[in-house]
Amino acid sequence: MTNPMPHEVAKLVPAKGNINGNTMDAYKKDYETSMEKNDEFWSAKATEILDWMSPFTKVCQGSFERGDIAWFVGGKLNLCYNAIDRHVLNGKGDQVGMIWEGDEPNDTRQITYQEMLNEVSQITNALKSQGVRKGDVVTIYMPMIPELAFTMLACARMGAVHSVVFAGFSSEALAQRVSAAQSKFVVTADKGKRGGKDIPLKKIVHDAINKMDCQEIVEKVLVWERFYDPASTEAPFEMDPKDVRMNPLVAVQRPYCPPEVMDAEDNLFLLYTSGSTGKPKGLVHTTGGYSLYAAYTTKTTFDINEGDIFACVADCGWITGHTYVVYGPLLLGSTTFLFESTPVYPDPGRYWDMIQRHKITQFYTAPTAIRLLMRYGDEIPSKYDVSCVRVLGTVGEPINPEAWRWYYEVVGKEKCTIVDTYWQTETGGHIITNLPGVTDMKPGSCTLPVPGIDAVVLSAIDGHPLTDADKDENGNLEGVMAIRRPWPGMARTCLGDHERYLTTYFKPYPGYYFTGDSVLKDKDGYHWIIGRVDDVINVSGHRIGTAEVESALVAHPAVAQAAVVGEPHDIKGQSICAFCMLTVGYDESPELLKELKMAVRTGVGAFASPDHIVISPSLPMTRSGKIMRRILRKIVSNEADSLGDTSTLADPSIVDTLIAKFAELK
Ligand code: PRX
């Protein structure tokens, strides 16, 4: 007998009390208003949550068909002003806006809103002094230090468009993103620190700008020093001709810089993300809609209140860091937390120790970290007093009920809400999540849509919106996750490739935004995200495109063809399994396997390195030459007994060979 699916056995866990008095009735009313009077709903939120330099004249215009959505048309504002200045003007200058904890637990900084205003202004002036202008793309490749968030804010202040590249990407992947965005400026640090080790970021940038056409594109590399000594006149790193030392440059700048007047639809940032095919997409988020959506979802999902200390431990290289480390909490005038290290350094009590020491009230991480920490046993969290936490959040991948239970019972002592937040780089902020004290929870379900999100389950076969008539005998609907109308936080285009934006998100199901995920909606209307329906792999919550890993593999002369699939993994959720067909003249050897892993590390980054590589005489291809990944996915999931129809394969006998080879690895 197979194990029951989580939704079949899930029991409702009553919502835990919030302190803002939100109720299920209020949520339902809000949701209804948001559907019936969408413009009024968002207009009221935009006026209540943000300060505008000029009011908007139209709430929303455009269509999914053309992909010309615009929010708060004609409105002018500055995100950095909203995130910092207005709090200072409202008398909160002395409040700590950011707590930073470095790789070593005793390496911490507390920065007030006033200090942030001064430092971000100085950075803005420094960027301007180096020739950065409104609209320029500034690539940021930095460790998780306050200067990373401040550089993002400085870009927003002057209207430069930041493109943060996760510092785990290789020089090649960085070069690709710099080149695609034609980014004249790269901001980095001499090094990063993680788990006691140095990460040579500046060196990686150096390698990147010598690749592709980056030498012609990049004018300046602005380098922060991880351990700056104001007395030192010499850089602690090898200076290249394009390098500028950031710390001494910033120190001499005027600590005020007026915020630029930005149109609501001016580009705010780019963030590259992986799709199933081709190169990473540079998704574009714009100023007004994104700011509102970041602030609104941070407030409602985490039940933020005056005096709260909000900790999202994601990296700013991903959307979670943008929305819930930097922009959301600061827009609300809350105290945000920036964390440089890992959950297990110097020991696996790090998170709980941080919560206790800093009196964190909301804590937000990924299921993969929870699964990892679970392995170290219940005693570790029990050693710490984490009673200050009210909300524990998870993001990035489905959370398995065992991990949910551990988070709820062992960490939260059954007193906290677990918010399971479902969203994407493209959505800007949460789209489906439970709310503290409002929504009864079910372990493993992200529950109900955020007000304003017209969430629809579509038939994967013909695209019709599923209705009661489509329910199975248990009252469940199963299909693909889509959204029927625009929302302020949605990405507006793919930089330089609007057609790709339309093709990926709006053409598959006309009239809908297509998430790329499959979903089950149960009899209570609760959503259970099953996973991607495309070839995107989710390793430890990191979204990795198969095409990127495959092209790194075939760049090695030994590989004639490669196909990459996600393999179930106890901690990472999925790991990467690569099937490679070798070029004539090459043979399988342990050295070659090492080289191939290295090829992925250099082509993409260490986080995308395959756990398994299967060398095979050929790949399961149709007669027209298309690789049938479906078969490979079944093999790595130990479901080879339900392969389905293999008769369309050019050589069906290859399947048995692959099954045998994969079994040898296990
Ligand atoms: O498959 C879904 C999964 O992560 C994808 C989005 O990845 P990315 O753009 O990198 O953003 C990650 C952080 C928002 C989605 O298409 N995903 C994200 N959150 C959840 C999730 N799957 C299940 N449950 C979630 N809570």
State the ipTM, two decimals.
Answer: 0.99
Ligand 1 atom nearest to CA at 420: 26
pLDDT above 70: percentage of residues in the chain? 100
Identify which of 418, 529, 607 to mutate to test ligand 1's pocket (most ligand atoms within 8 A of the CB).
529
For residue 469, name the pLDDT band (cuts at 50, 70, 90).
Answer: very high
d(CA 270, CA 386): 36
Q: Give the pLDDT score at 5.
A: 80
Beta sheet of 267-273, edge-to-edge order: 243-245, 220-224, 185-189, 137-141, 161-164, 267-273, 281-286, 493-494
Instruction: Answer whether residue 275 shows pLDDT above 80.
Output: no
Instruction: Answer whether residue 112 shows pLDDT above 80.
Output: yes
How many angstroms is it from 125 CA to the middle of ligand 1?
36
Q: Which residues contact 524 (CB under 8 A, 6 or more apart)?
A: 12, 442
Closest by alpha carbon to 273, among 66, 453, 504?
504
Does the reported pTM lie above 0.90?
yes
Ligand 1 near 396 CB (within 6 A):
yes
Ligand 1 atom nearest to CA at 529: 23
Q: Is 590 exposed, middle or buried (0-12, 13-18, 19+ CB in 10 A)?
A: exposed
Most confident option among 2-6, 211-215, 228-232: 211-215
d(CA 439, CA 301): 11
Q: Range with the lowest mean pLDDT among 106-115, 426-435, 446-455, 640-649?
A: 640-649
Among protein residues, the one with the nearest Cα to ligand 1's atom 13 is: 396
Q: What is the DSSP letter of 410?
A: I
Ligand 1 atom nearest to CA at 422: 26
Residue range 391-416: average pLDDT?
96
Residue range 26-33: average pLDDT?
97
How many angstroms is it from 533 CA to the middle of ligand 1?
13
Ligand 1 near 171 CB (within 6 A):
no
Instruction: Answer whether residue 666 shows pLDDT above 90.
Output: no
d(CA 347, CA 546): 33
Closest by alpha carbon to 69, among 482, 505, 450?
505
Identify which of 301, 316, 421, 423 to mutate to test ligand 1's pocket (most ligand atoms within 8 A of the CB).
423
How many angstroms is it from 542 CA to the middle of ligand 1?
9
Ligand 1 near 529 CB (within 6 A):
yes
How many angstroms is it from 162 CA to the middle of ligand 1?
22
- Residue 561 and residue 580 in contact, taking contact as beta carbons nearer than 8 Å: yes
For residue 1, name the pLDDT band (cuts at 50, 70, 90).
Answer: very low
How many angstroms is it from 39 CA to the middle of ligand 1?
27
